[in-house]
Amino acid sequence: MSVVVANDIRKSFGPLEVLKGVSLNVEAGEVIALIGRSGSGKSTFLRCLNGLETVDSGLIQIAGHAMSRKPAALRELRRDVGIVFQSYNLFPHLTAGENIMLAPVQVKGETKVAARDEAQRCLSMVGLGDRFDAYPDMLSGGQQQRVAIARSLAMRPKVLLFDEVTSALDPELTGEVLAVIEDLARQGMTMLLVTHEMGFARRVADRTIFMKDGIIHEGGPSAEFFTNPRTPELQAFLRSEIG
């Protein structure tokens, strides 16, 4: 059963058409990597899936929610669809645990005791079980990004979206974060990732999608996608990224 259905999504910013009819279905438990050059529409598509951008036309159904502009409907959607960005967006005056507790308490109405237990569980999932009381400025970039992932996990989402979550990190810290995402994949989390990490996409993603000029230019099972790219455009892109 498809957990994500996007049909003929179009989105413009002023005269610039960024998405030109993108269609994609994602099954439960699938991991999809979105790759392509800057400006190809990858991040805009991801933001449309979470309702952060409104589409001009097309249909989105995700985690049982039909996309709507109504605030109440968007709040319900975001309870089930988490998104993690390149910037961690942690509150500096709150500890790692308190950052994670915030949404379950304020959005889901959980008690602080239940939210604390859940925050501790999620921190342990990302390898930071001993850093509950650490403030963001006491954590490395990789650790802060793992806290951001734990914050999304605390909402128990049905779908997780990752938008270039390692692009601001050095290679060692990138490895920390990718290991967490790979573990989530093994646990069956449905995920869509915008990434420049080609080796990771090839190893972990069930399918890889190459976006170019606002459309899905080519896509398929990752093993075949990387070993036998069909179009000259994808061949050139992979050469430039992998070397």
Mean pLDDT on 153-167: 93
- Using alpha carbons, list the distances in angstroms from residue 18 to 25, 62, 147, 217, 236: 20, 21, 31, 14, 22
Whether residues 2 and 71 share a domain: the answer is yes
Percent of the chain surpassing pLDDT 90: 84
Using alpha carbons, list the distances in angstroms from residue 200 to 32, 36, 179, 204, 231: 11, 15, 10, 6, 21
User: For the chain, what percent of residues have pLDDT higher than 70?
Assistant: 100
The sign one gets for the Cα dihedral 141, 142, 143, 145 is positive
Q: Pick the range with the lowest mean pLDDT from 3-7, 95-99, 168-172.
A: 168-172
Instruction: Examine the domain organization and report whether 100 and 55 are in the same domain.
Output: no
**50 and 64 co-located in one domain:** yes
66 and 131 in one domain? Answer: no
The token pair that represents 137 in the structure block: 């400025």
Same domain, 2 and 49: yes
pLDDT at 88 over 90: no
| Alpha carbons 53 and 186: distance in angstroms, whole number | 30
Question: Which residue bears the tokens 């800057």?
Answer: 38
Whether this model's pTM surpasses 0.85: yes
**Is the distance from CB of 85 to CB of 163 less than 8 angstroms?**
yes
Residue 243 has pLDDT above 70, yes or no: no
Query: Phi and psi for 5 in degrees, rounded to 5?
Result: -125, 115
- Per-residue pLDDT of 171-180, as tens digits, reads 888 999 999 9
Q: How many CA atoms lie within 13 A of 143 on its CB side?
A: 17
- The interaxial angle of helices 112-125 and 96-106, nearest 10 deg, is 130
User: How far is it, in rounded angstroms, from Cα 33 to Cα 200?
Assistant: 9
Domain with 132, as residue range(s), is 88-156
CB 88 within 8 Å of CB 161: no
Are 38 and 56 within 8 A, CB to CB?
Answer: no
Judge if 190 and 234 occupy the same domain.
yes
Residues 27 and 144 in one domain: no
